[in-house]
Amino acid sequence: MKNIFKGKILDRINDEVMSHRNENVKTITTLKEALEKIKQLKSTYYFKRESEYVSIPDSVGRELSEDIVADYLSPEFDISAMDGFAFRCEDNNPLKISGSIYAGDIIAKINSGEAMAIATGAILPKGADTVLKIEDAQIIKDLLYGKKLKMWENVFRKGSDYHAGDRIFEKNHRIMPQSAALLYSLGEEKVPVYKKIRAGIISTGTEIYNGMIKNTNSVLIQGFMKEVGCESTFVGAVPDDYDKTKKMLLEACKRFDVIFTTGGVSVGERDFVADVITEVGELLFHRVAIRPGKPLAVGIVKDIPVFSLPGKPTGTLTALEIVVRSYFTGMPRATCELMINEDVMLPEEDFEYILFVKIVNNTASSMGRQMKLFDREYNTAIISASPRSAVVEGYVITNRDIGKGELVNVYLFN
């Protein structure tokens, strides 16, 4: 019996080795191709949601489900953009200072040859058409001297922000804090937005189902979804069983806008998820040329996008960050250029490698190296399994070896 069992294990290992040798030629998807397919998926499915009205403070981070059009012009008057003096540009120095006007005062009036001290935000007096900055003014015995100005210089013109009928925001605009402020100025009280995406999370694997290891990936995905402004629910764990996996996936597709699964997407004997998607839906791609994160599958089941992530936690994070994130937001990560303080050698060509780095004294240092998970050659298999290795400030994407002291582009998590 032991010999028979050993034979089965060896057969499985040989099959997986052959699969690994052939995958680059037949099935692996480049990062560029994967991102293009995600873009196409988003154009079809992302905005297939109902809308609702929410308060302006609650609208930040949401997308508008309608165009927003102005009902009136802004500003309603010519406004001073500087602290200084208002007068007619055709008048010559010196000008008699006839008074002062502040933001909130009623509209004043000046005559030819006069000037009025004016504060930023105050309504331009009738008869004035320009503002001299206070630092350019010289005052001698209540007379104003200064350089010659053009008409409307330092003046925020009436209606220059927008007019009635102007389309201020387009449908699908993601509302930022500054967007919310402008919506308030437009007189909006409730804002039409799409309902939040509802994601269902399924964890596969008998070891997860039996509680033998902690289900860290579901927590990771929920945090990711919160960061991009979506809602998520842990549906449950399923053992390594084809029919049970299919049943849970199909039931989840009835309840959610997108589905995440973790585990079961590699090339092992019990990796069923990609086959399930192929049977009950459409598999868009399976395995991407990134490390960590290669065993990523994306498909459509019952008109619902399904993102099937690797089982290893840092592999899950990488797949989310590098590929899946583009489905939920088009906002790029901020970057900075830093010197790397170590040599990094890549084990294999034709992959984009994600190197998670800590930033110390304005230099980049691999967390995996600090943890002694690898020396010079980047060991993605070990990094993928280590949640701690990705608790960093950012990451570097590279498809070539990196030399100590080289400048690298770091994508920042914060």
Q: For the chain, which residues score pLDDT lower than 70?
A: 1-26
Beta strand segments in 9-121, E: 51-55, 68-69, 79-80, 84-87, 95-101, 114-118
Contact yes or no for 130/155 (Cβ under 8 A): yes
Architecture of domain 27-48+195-328: 3-Layer(aba) Sandwich (3.40)
pLDDT at 369: 87
Question: What pTM, to 2 d.p., does this model score?
Answer: 0.85
**What are the strands, taking DSSP E only, across 88-230?**
95-101, 114-118, 130-133, 138-140, 143-145, 155-156, 167-169, 190-194, 198-204
Dihedral angle sign, alpha carbons of residues 131, 100, 182, 188: negative
Q: Which of 185, 216, 213 is nearest to 201 (CA)?
A: 216
Output the DSSP codes for 104-115: TPPP-B--TTEE
Neighbours of 235 (CB within 10 A): 21
pLDDT at 8: 46
- Computed over its alpha carbons, how large is the radius of gyration of the chain? 31
Domain ranges of the chain: 27-48+195-328, 52-73+161-193, 79-156, 335-412
CATH, domain range 335-412: 2.40.340
406 in helix, strand or coil? Answer: coil
For 376-411, the pLDDT digits (tens) are: 899 998 999 999 999 999 999 999 999 999 999 999
Strands 258-262 and 198-204: parallel
| Rounded Cα gap, residues 52 and 67, in angstroms | 14
CATH of domain 79-156: 2.170.190.11
Kindly give the interhelix angle for 242-252 and 273-280, rounded to the nearest 10 degrees: 60
Quick: pLDDT tens for 126-159: 999 999 999 999 999 889 999 999 999 999 999 9
DSSP calls for 224-291: HHHHTT-EEEEEEEE-S-HHHHHHHHHHHTTT-SEEEEES--SSSTT--HHHHHHHHEEEEEE-BSEE
Report the pLDDT value the prediction gives residue 27, as an integer from 0 to 100. Answer: 79
Question: What SS3 state is found at 323?
Answer: helix
The class of domain 52-73+161-193 in CATH terms is alpha beta
Q: DSSP letter at 82? A: S
